[in-house]
């Protein structure tokens, strides 16, 4: 059994907890509604750098002391940056929730951004950028985002570029922190062995340095579609093609998710069965749908030998187009079942539960009961899934490809193939 409570402090800060009676540990964190899409051009990569620098020392704790204090009680501390949010979170025993929140508050309100630590961490991130460039199945998704949303922060890689990251100084980090880490864009979430009133009391004391105002609005996304390819001497061509999808506020988002899952979400999906099992054209093939506050992306990824690229792309496009016409009740029911298991299994983890609550409050201003989410999944029928698929595939295509990709189709050829089925 769980018990969820929400308190909105006078400052604008939101605290949400889910007391899970059967647990003896707790997951607690701070989620800020600011990510890479909130960066101006000269700030590209700053959200991620700030996340790294938060752990590099405060007025009360050195970088070593931060890690030692949390690990002394058996806990762990981590952070993550995404397009629209940044999270700082810990997992500890019930008795150490106060310590965990004190450390997180300390790194977010009292970090010193030491100049030597900053230079070291910038070098680490430059290495991280290099690691992505050496991993084509990661790099191709960065290329895909840039092509789908050209000249916009929402499409740029979260890590930034070597040039931008290397140029950041303490002033840039502090200015970004002051502008975006504000109470109206911040949720403190905890799940597991937690006491709501205690978390509220601690939060109200520790986060007073956060400015009591809403965060500045991010620029609206403008999906354009496009073509990005990089010829490289690789054994495989790595390809992502796709279309604009549905935002998580769009009433058709669940239908889009069901379509993506049925078309290419598992080993029983059309794409996997036709392309890998029947034709052996690719080792990896899958479709996915990714939602943001005002847009989304539906995409298909595949890796194949250069000679197989034209056939692979044609077959994949034919499968998608055909699914908008004759997707079956059996396929839709299977996709719905897979989505429900994924949703409900995640909620068995206190960390996943805390993250979900924070993201829902930042996205919707309320918690979405699991019964409501399950009902919306169950409400997607064959007609709705087909309709969502047709709407997405009717848009301007985007393609990104790396490796032996000379024979990969361009957006016009993709659109023509879809229309011809």
Phi and psi, residue 29, nearest 5°: -165, 175
Q: Give catalytic status of residue 51 as yes or no.
A: yes
Count of CB atoms within 10 A of residue 219's CB?
Answer: 12
Rounded Cα gap, residues 255 and 260, in angstroms: 9
Rounded Cα gap, residues 354 and 210, in angstroms: 21
Rounded Cα gap, residues 184 and 189, in angstroms: 14
- Relative to beta strand 398-403, strand 227-231 is parallel
Q: Which of 51, 84, 121, 274 is catalytic?
A: 51
The DSSP symbol for 300 reads E
E strand or H helix that includes residue 170? helix 170-180
Count of CB atoms within 10 A of residue 251's CB?
Answer: 8
The DSSP symbol for 218 reads P
Rounded Cα gap, residues 54 and 105, in angstroms: 10
Alpha-carbon distances of 27 from 76, 108, 363, rounded to whole Å: 10, 18, 20
Rounded Cα gap, residues 415 and 396, in angstroms: 7
Helix axes 309-326, 253-264, angle to 10 degrees: 130
E strand or H helix that includes residue 375? helix 370-378
The radius of gyration computed from the CA coordinates of the chain, to the nearest angstrom, equals 23
10 Å CB burial of residue 67 (0-12, 13-18, 19+) is middle
Three-class secondary structure of residue 51 per DSSP: helix
The DSSP symbol for 212 reads S
Catalytic positions are 51
């Amino acid at each position: 059994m769980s018990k969820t409570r929400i308190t909105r402090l006078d400052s604008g800060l939101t605290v949400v907890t889910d007391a899970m009676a059967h647990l003896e540990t707790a997951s607690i964190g701070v989620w800020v509604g600011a990510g890479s899409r909130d960066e101006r051009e000269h700030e590209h990569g700053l959200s991620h750098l700030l996340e790294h620098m938060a752990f590099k020392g405060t007025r009360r704790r050195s970088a070593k002391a931060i890690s030692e204090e949390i690990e002394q009680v058996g806990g762990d501390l981590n952070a993550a940056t995404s397009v629209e949010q940044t999270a700082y979170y810990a997992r500890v025993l019930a008795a150490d929730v106060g310590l965990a929140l004190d450390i997180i508050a300390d790194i977010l309100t009292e970090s010193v951004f030491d100049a030597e630590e900053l230079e070291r961490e910038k070098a680490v991130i430059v290495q991280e950028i290099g690691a992505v460039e050496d991993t084509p199945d990661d790099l191709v998704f960065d290329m895909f985002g840039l092509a789908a949303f050209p000249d916009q922060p929402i499409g740029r890689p979260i890590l930034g570029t070597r040039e931008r990251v290397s140029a950041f100084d303490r002033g840039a980090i502090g200015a970004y922190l002051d502008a975006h880490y504000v109470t109206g864009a911040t949720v403190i979430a905890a799940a597991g062995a937690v006491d709501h009133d205690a978390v509220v009391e601690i939060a109200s004391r520790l986060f007073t340095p956060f400015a009591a105002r809403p965060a500045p609005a991010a620029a609206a996304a403008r999906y354009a579609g496009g073509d990005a390819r990089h010829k490289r001497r690789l054994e495989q061509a790595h390809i992502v093609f796709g279309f604009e999808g549905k935002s998580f506020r769009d009433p058709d988002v669940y239908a889009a998710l069901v379509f993506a899952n049925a078309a290419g979400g598992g080993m029983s999906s059309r794409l996997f069965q036709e392309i890998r099992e029947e034709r052996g054209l690719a080792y990896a093939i899958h479709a996915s749908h990714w939602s943001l506050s005002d847009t989304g992306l539906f995409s298909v990824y595949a890796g194949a030998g250069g000679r197989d690229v034209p056939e692979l792309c044609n077959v994949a496009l034919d499968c998608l187009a055909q699914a908008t016409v004759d997707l079956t009740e059996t396929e839709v029911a299977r996709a719905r079942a897979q989505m429900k298991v994924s949703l409900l299994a995640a909620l068995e983890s206190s960390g996943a539960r805390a993250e979900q609550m924070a993201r829902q409050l930042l996205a919707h201003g309320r918690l979405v009961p699991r019964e409501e989410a399950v009902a919306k999944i169950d409400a997607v029928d064959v007609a709705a899934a087909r309709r969502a698929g047709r709407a997405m595939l009717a848009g301007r295509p985007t393609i990104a490809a790396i490796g032996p990709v000379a024979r990969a189709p361009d957006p016009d050829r993709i659109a023509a193939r879809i229309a011809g089925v």
